[in-house]
Amino acid sequence: MGTESKRQQRFAGVIQQDLAELFQRDGGSWAPNAFITVTRVRVTPDLAIARVYLSFLNTSTSKSDLGLIRSKASEIRYKLGTRIKNQARIVPHLEFFLDDTSEYVEHMDKLFDEISKEPRQED
């Protein structure tokens, strides 16, 4: 993927901030018992599609919660549109993805802990 233009980055920042506020306010009805964090937003060069990366805390069913969020994508897009209508000509189509960076970091930490506990072999 190429580098994003300043316009794309600025628009992605607006979307990320507004979606974060939406998930903070309405996220409980979309994915009960989950704390949803918008970790990153990437926007296509024509600003028509926004790829939104979400992280779910306090839940063990993040994949099913992501499915619930995807099923509510049109409702979320509508609510986003009411918030950014003065800042954008079009409201981008939203695609939601699971951001598993924290799980990957935890996995790597466990591997490094196991390696450090193993006895060292002398060369």
Question: Which tokens in the block code for residue 35?
Answer: 């704390």
Per-residue pLDDT, 11:
92
DSSP state of 60: S
Q: Is 110 exposed, middle or buried (0-12, 13-18, 19+ CB in 10 A)?
A: exposed
- Least confident segment among 18-27, 74-83, 113-122: 113-122
What domains does the chain contain, in order, with CATH numbers?
6-117 (3.30.300.20)
Tokens 């990320």, located at residue: 16
pLDDT tens, position by position, 52-106:
999 887 777 778 888 888 998 999 999 999 988 888 888 999 999 988 776 677 7
Tell me the one-letter amino acid at 27.
Answer: G
pLDDT tens readout for residues 23-41: 888 877 777 777 888 999 9
